[in-house]
Amino acid sequence: MESFGVVGLLFLLVMVYLTYVEYKKSRLTQTTFAVWLFFWILAALLVIFQPYVNSIISDINIVRVLDLYMILGFMFLFAVAFYLFVIIKNAEKRVEEVVRKVALKSITSKGL
């Protein structure tokens, strides 16, 4: 394994640990924890079995493993951006509803 692979594995180990810590603090649900764990393990397998991956990716016209990581990384980031966009829009909507409810409560409770 090249030094790049070792660095990658160390990074993934840290990420597994951080994910576990977040799960223990109940900030992640069991499902979310499982999804993230699966993702880190998959990434680790790609690093460990790099020679096998090399032969597979050459069939789909990707020259280097690094290029594959870049492509997967971008795909992941776009998916995360979309997911965050949806979450923020929903949160904005909920905040608006709550703020309006609180404002209107003052007239209904006073019976104005």
Partner 1 sequence: MDGLFAVIPAHNEEKHIEKVVKETKKYVEKVIVVNDASKDNTVNIAKKAGATVLTHIVNLGLGGSLKTGCDAAILLGAKKIVTLDGDGQHDPSEISKLIKKMESSKADAVFGERPFDKNMPLTKKIGNYFFHFYSKYLFGIKVRDTQTGFRLFTSDAYKKIRWVSRDYAVASEMLINAERSHLRYVSEEIKTIYHDDNKGTTVLDGIKIANKMMRLKFR
Residue 10 or 95: which CB sits closer to partner 1?
A: 95
* Residues whose CB falls within 8 Å of the CB of residue 40, separated by 6 or more in sequence, listed in order: 12, 15, 16, 19
Within 8 A by CB and 6+ apart from 20, the residues are 33
Q: Which is nearer to partner 1, 26 or 109 (CB)?
A: 109
CB atoms under 10 Å from CB of 5, counted, come to 15
User: Does residue number 109 form part of the binding site for partner 1 (CB under 8 A)?
Assistant: no
Q: How many residues bind partner 1 (CB under 8 A)?
A: 12
Give the nearer residue to partner 1 in terms of CB position, either 66 or 99.
99
Judged by CB under 8 A, does residue 60 bind partner 1?
no
**DSSP assigned state of 112:** -
Considering the rule CB under 8 A, would residue 102 count as an interface residue with partner 1? yes
Backbone angles phi, psi at 110, to 5 degrees: -80, -15
State the angle between helix axes of 30-48 and 3-24 in degrees (0 to 180), rounded to the nearest 10. Answer: 170
For partner 1, which is the closer residue by CB, 64 or 93?
93
The yes or no reply on residue 112 touching partner 1 (CB under 8 A) is yes
**Contacts to partner 1 by CB under 8 A:** 92, 95-96, 99-100, 102-104, 106-108, 112
